[in-house]
Structure 1
Amino acid sequence: MPRQGPLADLLVLDVTRVLAGPFAGMVLADLGAEVIKVERPDGGDDARTFGPFRNGVSAYFASVNRGKKGLTLDLQKPAGRDLFLRLAERADVVLENFRPGVMARLGLDYETLRQRNPGLIYAAVSGFGQAGPYAHRPAYDAVIQAMGGLMSLTGQEDGPPVRVGVSIGDIAAALCTVIGILAALHRRDTTGEGQMVDVAMLDCQLGILENAIARYFVSGQVPTRLGTRHPSITPFQAFDAADRAIVVAIGNDRLWETFCRAVGRDDLLADERFRTNDLRTRHHAELEPLMQALFRAHPADWWLAELERAGIPAGPINTIDRLATDPQVAAREMLQVVLDPAAGPMTMAGVPIKLSATPGAIAGPAPRLGEHTEEVLGRLLGLSGEALARLRNQGVV
C-alpha cells in the first residue's frame, strides 16, 4: 500500500537512537515520509533494551519508532559506509543525533554527503550543537533540563529542583528538528539546494523558557520555583477540592469578575488587593489561602461543572489511567492500538496534528532489528540476494 500523508514523497535516513532523533523521525513517519531506521547489526538502538517489555519488545522503543522501516548497517566497515553513501544519494533527509564529529570520523558528515547529493537536508540534533565550548560533551535529557534552567523553575517553592515528568529536553529538540527540516525542504523547493539543520537540546530549552528570560532581564530577579502557580497570572494554579486537586486558570480581570460572581464572593471582587491581575499576583500569598478554603468546600466534579457553566478555564489533574478513558482523548483519536507481530496490540499516543486534506497516520509498528534490510537495499540500490548474503556473512548488515 502506498504511503499516505503530506510527506509521502520523502525518503528519510534515520541514523538516531534513544529519544530526540527517533521522536523527530517518528513525527516525519506519522506525516507520511518513508523513514528508514539505520541501526548497527549487533543490538541496534539502545532503546530496544529499555522497559517495559511485552514478549521481549520494548514499549519505549516501539512508541517512538513506529511506522519506520528497519535496516542494519555497520557504518564502521567500508562496505557499510559505501552502502550508506549510496542511500544518501537517494535520500531527501539524513537525520542523526551523534555527538559532533562522529559522522565526520565515519566519513558521513554533511560536507561529504552534500558532494553526492546537493539537495540533501542533513539534520543533526545533539546536546549542545555543532559549535561552542560544550559541543563535544555528552548529554541526556536530565542534564539538559538542569543546564537549561528548567529544573531550577520546577518544583515546590520550598523544595529542591525537580525534573519535569517527561523528557522535555529531548522532545523540544525533536520538534524543533522537524520544524527545521520542513523549513529547509521548503527552501529547497525554490532553490534546489539542501542545507544542514543544526539543533541543540540546550538551545531548545532556552527557546521554551519564555517568560523566565523576560522576567530576569526586565526585573533583574532570578526566577525560582513556584509549585503550580504562574509567575505573572493569579489565580492560575492547582487547588485542593474536597476530594482531589483541580487546576483553575483565571487569565484576566474579566474572568476574575465572572468567577467571583459565579461563586458568590463579591467581597473578593471588592477587595482592593485583588482588583487587577498585577495586584492579585503581588498579593498572591494573601489570596491563595482564601481560594484554597473556598475550593475545599466541594468535591472536584462539583467545581468543574460549576466552573464550566461560568466559562472559567479549569480541569482535573488526570492520572494516566483517567486520561486513558477521557472522552475528549477518544474523540480526537489520541490513543491508538498498533498491532506488533511479536508483542501483539500496543497502545500508544496518536497523531496530534490533524490535517483536513492529507491527514497523518501511524503507518505500522516499529521494525524488528534489520527487518527491512533486504527489501530496502534491493529496492533502492538493486542489490541481489547473493550480494546481500555476502554482506550478512561479513557482518556489514
Structure 2
Amino acid sequence: MGPLEGIKVIDMTTVLMGPYATQMLGDYGADVLKVETLEGDVTRQIGPTRHPGMGPLFLNTNRSKRSIALDLKKSAGRDAVLRLIRSADVLIYNVRPQAMVRLQLGYDVVSKLNPRLIYAGVFGFGQDGPYAAKPAYDDLIQGGSGLAHLMAIGGDGTPRYVPNALVDRIVGTHAVGAILASLVHRERSGSGQRVDIPMLETMSSFVMGDHMGGLTYEPPLDKGGYARHLSPDRRPYKTADGYICVIVYNDKQWDNFIKATGRDDMRADPKFATFAGRAGNIDVVYAELARMMLERTTAEWTDLLNEADIPTLPMHDLESILTDPHLTATNFFSVVDHPTEGKIRSMRVSATWSDTPAKPERLAPLLSEHSDEILREAGFSADEIAALVKEGVTRTAPGGQD
C-alpha cells in the first residue's frame, strides 16, 4: 500500500504546484482528498480531451486522489471541510495565506480543531517580506529567480522561460520533503505545525546554488555564474545526421575519448589535458566537441562512445521518448484503462522501496466523483448530504453515484 499508508491529506490546491505534490503523496500511499470548487480545477480544461473536464494535464497530475466538490464561500461548505480536517494528518493549500484567513481556514483556526495537523502552504513568497501578498506564477518566478536571465546568456541573448512548469514541480517536490519532515517531527513530539514553502525563496536557492560563483564571497570575486552551464556549446550536439547528448567530464572519460577518436594532440594541449585546464577554457573545449560531432553519424557516435564508457544518451522528442529502450524495459510508460477516458498512458512512480512498494491505485477522478463517499466517511447522514446538494454546497457524482 505504499510507505504513507494511513496518512490522510486534505488537498486544497489547484493547477500544478500543489497537485503535483499531492499526487506524489498519493502515489506513496496517502489517502488524498482533493477539494475542488463546483467548477473543478482549471487544469481539467487544458489540452485535448475525450470528455470535458478530463484534460491530459489534469490526468497526469491528479491520480491517486479522491475528488470532492465544495463551495467554501458558503458556511456549510466551510463547515464540511472543517469536519474533514478533524481527522486529517495534512492540509495543503496553494492560495495566498490571506485568502485562507478570509475563508476562516487559517492556521490559528484549524490548529485548534486538530493540533496534530500539518498545515502546509505552497505559495509565492515568504510572509516576512514586501512581496508577501503578491500573486505568483511559474513564469514570474522563473524570471525573479534569475532563470530567464540564464537562458539568455546560454542562448541568443533573449531572456526566455524554460518550456516546462519547472518552478511548480520543483517547489512541489520541496513541499513533499517539508511535509514528510513535519510528519517525522509529529511522530516525535505529538504536535503538528504550520510549514510554508515559498516559490521565490525555493527557486532562488535552486538556481543560485549553481550560479553564486564569486558572489559567494564578500567582497565578490566575480559577477557569478557557472561557466560550464553557460557555455554556448553546452547543448545536444549536431551529428552528421541528427543530434546526440554527450558529456566528457572527468580525466578518465577524456582519456577514453582521446583514445577512441585518435586525438592524441589533445594530451599536449593545456586547454584539454587537465580538468582545471578544461574548466578554464570550457567554451573552447565544448566548441571543439561540437565540431568533432559533425564528423560521424549519431549511430556511429553512439557505438563509439558506449564502447569507450563515455556518458551519452539519445536526444528524444516528445514521441520518441515513449519508445526509449530503457524506459520500455522498466515499464515507465504503461497504457491503462481509465473508467471514463478509455486507454490512457500513465507514468510509473520513479522511486522504489524494498518493503513498501508504491503503486498508484487510482487514476485521476471525475469532478466530485467521491463527494458522497467522503462526506459519509466524515459522519454526514444521507439527509445532510442531500441538503448540501440542494443548497449548492456540493454536487452529486457524475451519473448520480460514486
The 1:148–1:289 alpha-carbon spacing in structure 2 relative to 1, beyond 3 Å, is closer
Matched, 1:139 2:139: no
**Deviation digits for residues 43-74 of structure 1 (CA, Å, limit 9, x no counterpart):** 11111111121232211111101121010111
After TM superposition, the structure 1 = structure 2 runs for residues 212-361 of structure 1, keeping only pairs within 5 Å, are: 212-218=211-217, 219-223=221-225, 230-231=229-230, 237-361=235-359
1:375 Cα shift? 0.5
What SS class does the counterpart of residue 246 from structure 1 fall into? strand
Q: Which amino acid aligns with 1:183?
A: A
Unaligned runs of 5+ in 2: 395-402
Distance 1:285 1:19 in 2: 37
The 1:329–1:86 alpha-carbon spacing in structure 2 relative to 1, beyond 3 Å, is same
After TM superposition, the structure 1 = structure 2 runs for residues 55-204 of structure 1, keeping only pairs within 5 Å, are: 55-56=51-52, 57-155=54-152, 156-204=154-202
Which moved further from structure 2: 281-290 or 315-324?
281-290
1:100 Cα shift? 2.0
Distance 1:292 1:104 in 2: 55
**Deviation digits for residues 235-276 of structure 1 (CA, Å, limit 9, x no counterpart):** 964321111121221221222122111211111122122222
Question: Is the 8 Å Cα contact of residues 97 and 106 (structure 2) preserved in structure 1?
Answer: no
Distance 1:393 1:289 in 2: 69
1:157 Cα shift? 3.8
Which one of the candidate residues 31, 34, 49 is aligned to 1:53?
49
After TM superposition, the runs of 4+ consecutive aligned structure 1 residues lying more than 6 A away are none
Question: Is the 8 Å Cα contact of residues 11 and 93 (structure 2) preserved in structure 1?
Answer: yes
Question: Is the 8 Å Cα contact of residues 236 and 247 (structure 1) preserved in structure 2?
Answer: no
> Alpha carbon RMSD of aligned pairs, Å?
1.9
User: Taking every aligned residue pair, what percent have the same amino acid on both sides?
Assistant: 37
Unaligned runs of 5+ in 1: none
Q: Calculate the TM-score normalised by the size of structure 1.
A: 0.93
Question: Is the 8 Å Cα contact of residues 235 and 250 (structure 1) preserved in structure 2?
Answer: no
Q: Which amino acid aligns with 2:112?
A: Q
Distance 1:15 1:270 in 2: 62
Question: Is the 8 Å Cα contact of residues 23 and 63 (structure 2) preserved in structure 1?
Answer: yes
- Aligned match of 1:44: 40
What SS class does the counterpart of residue 54 from structure 1 fall into? coil
Question: Is the 8 Å Cα contact of residues 235 and 249 (structure 1) preserved in structure 2?
Answer: no
The 1:169–1:23 alpha-carbon spacing in structure 2 relative to 1, beyond 3 Å, is same
Distance 1:129 1:53 in 2: 37
1:291 Cα shift? 2.2
Q: Which amino acid aligns with 2:240?
A: A
**Deviation digits for residues 328-384 of structure 1 (CA, Å, limit 9, x no counterpart):** 1122222133422222111132211111211111222211111101101102x2212
- Aligned match of 1:211: 210
What SS class does the counterpart of residue 9 from structure 2 fall into? strand
Question: Is the 8 Å Cα contact of residues 236 and 248 (structure 1) preserved in structure 2?
Answer: no
Distance 1:50 1:358 in 2: 34
Distance 1:52 1:268 in 2: 52
- Aligned match of 2:368: 370
Matched, 1:395 2:392: yes
Q: Which amino acid aligns with 2:263?
A: R
Question: Is the 8 Å Cα contact of residues 238 and 245 (structure 1) preserved in structure 2?
Answer: yes
Question: Is the 8 Å Cα contact of residues 120 and 179 (structure 2) preserved in structure 1?
Answer: yes
**Deviation digits for residues 199-247 of structure 1 (CA, Å, limit 9, x no counterpart):** 01112212211220234335321438x8xx5359x99643211111212
Which moved further from structure 2: 64-73 or 342-351?
342-351
Give the number of aligned pairs. 388
What SS class does the counterpart of residue 131 from structure 2 fall into? coil
Distance 2:130 2:6 in 1: 39
Question: Is the 8 Å Cα contact of residues 100 and 129 (structure 1) preserved in structure 2?
Answer: no
Distance 1:386 1:107 in 2: 26
Question: Is the 8 Å Cα contact of residues 338 and 364 (structure 1) preserved in structure 2?
Answer: no
Distance 2:113 2:287 in 1: 66
1:83 Cα shift? 1.2
Which moved further from structure 2: 7-16 or 348-357?
348-357
Distance 2:179 2:364 in 1: 22
Q: Calculate the TM-score normalised by the size of structure 2.
A: 0.92
- Aligned match of 2:30: 33
Question: Is the 8 Å Cα contact of residues 37 and 71 (structure 1) preserved in structure 2?
Answer: yes
Question: Is the 8 Å Cα contact of residues 48 and 60 (structure 1) preserved in structure 2?
Answer: yes
1:11 Cα shift? 0.5
Question: Is the 8 Å Cα contact of residues 337 and 346 (structure 1) preserved in structure 2?
Answer: yes
Distance 2:288 2:197 in 1: 46
